[in-house]
Amino acid sequence: MTGGAAGVLGFVGAGPVGRALATAFGHAGRTVLLAHGRPGTSETGTHPYRWLESPAAIAERADITFLTVPDDHISTVCGSIPWRPGTAVVHCSGATELDALRAAADAGALVGGFHPLQMFANPDVALEGLAGCTVGIEAQPELADELDSLGRLIGLRPLRLPPGVRARYHASANYVGPFVIALLREAASIWRSFGADEADAVAALTPLLRGTIAAVADRGLAGGMGGCVARGDVGTVSAHLAALDALGPDAGALYRTLALRTVPLAVERGTLSESRAEQIAAVLAPAPR
């Protein structure tokens, strides 16, 4: 494997992850090659990478090839490419174990995982938000060191992952990624019940979300906890439940589940006494069906 700034980076997969990372590395001065990941994918304009016609052409030229294809296709794509000994093949999946790259390892390539902890719905938005993000890295020491350097080159914070934890690591990220969006949708549905639309809800609630993140970054998880549970407002919690139960059992059930998880944080913060916590927990007990 060719290390340092001279190494050529290749990307097989032209979705949002591949394009965002290829652009970031290209802007950082690396030589970057990218192959189309889907039939009909096309792109116009000036980009800091070179398009090649096939994954095999990438593998022939790149020192490190990133497989930025859907998780379920990593093993199949890896097995379809003729790899060169001494190069490196790296997938960008959070949950997929390195066994999916067995074909590359059998061909004499180093294998690893490089997973930026970021949402990639839009590659341009993801690119702007990369700096400061953590990147989960798993590989043999030689390759892991190279991937650490690459991550730092584009402003990422490397985190070494031990073998066998990728699914747990990736599942945890859903709680502050897709699940947050699902909770925002739940909140927006409540707003619709009193005549506001989704755009109104998003405009109102995203500043609150940013404030929540700022509070946690400043004071930690327990220290950043606020709201009626943290204050011990039993009456407010009861009013919330009555209103949500009236909308439907699922609305009340979700609130109960999440609110119960905030009780220990409020106790840890010191704003909720043990006796008050017991009262709130009793109010939050599952409603009879």
Q: Is the pLDDT of residue 214 over 90?
A: yes
Predicted local distance difference test score (pLDDT) of residue 87: 97
Distance of alpha carbon 85 from alpha carbon 92, whole angstroms:
21
Q: What is the DSSP letter of 175?
A: T
Distance of alpha carbon 122 from alpha carbon 128, whole angstroms:
10
3-state secondary structure at position 154:
coil
Q: Of 1 and 142, which is predicted with more confidence?
A: 142
Predicted local distance difference test score (pLDDT) of residue 36: 67
Average pLDDT over residues 16-20: 93
Q: Is the pLDDT of residue 5 over 50?
A: no
pLDDT, tens digit, for every residue of 249-260?
A: 999 999 999 999
Q: Is the pLDDT of residue 64 over 60?
A: yes
Distance of alpha carbon 38 from alpha carbon 16, whole angstroms:
12
How many C-beta atoms surround the C-beta of residue 234 within 10 A? 16
Q: Are 7 and 64 in contact (CB under 8 A)?
A: yes
Q: Are 59 and 84 in contact (CB under 8 A)?
A: yes
Average pLDDT over residues 260-269: 97
pLDDT band per the 50, 70, 90 thresholds, residue 235: very high
pLDDT, tens digit, for every residue of 103-143?
A: 999 999 999 999 999 999 888 888 999 999 999 999 999 99
Alpha helices in the chain, H assignment, sequence order: 16-27, 55-61, 74-79, 102-106, 123-128, 141-153, 166-174, 178-192, 198-223, 228-231, 234-247, 249-269, 274-283
Predicted local distance difference test score (pLDDT) of residue 46: 66
Q: Is the pLDDT of residue 217 over 60?
A: yes
Task: Output the DSSP codes for 39-103.
Answer: TT----S--SSEEES-HHHHHHH-SEEEE-S-GGGHHHHHHTS-PPTT-EEEE--SS--GGGGHH
Instruction: Name the residue ranges covered by the structural domains of the chain.
Output: 4-173, 178-283
In the block, residue with structure tokens 């402003």: 155
Contacts of 188 (CB under 8 A, 6+ apart): 198, 201, 202, 205
Q: Name the CATH topology of 4-173.
A: Rossmann fold (3.40.50)
3-state secondary structure at position 115:
strand
Cα atoms in the 13 Å half-sphere on the side-chain side of 175? 5
Distance of alpha carbon 31 from alpha carbon 53, whole angstroms:
17
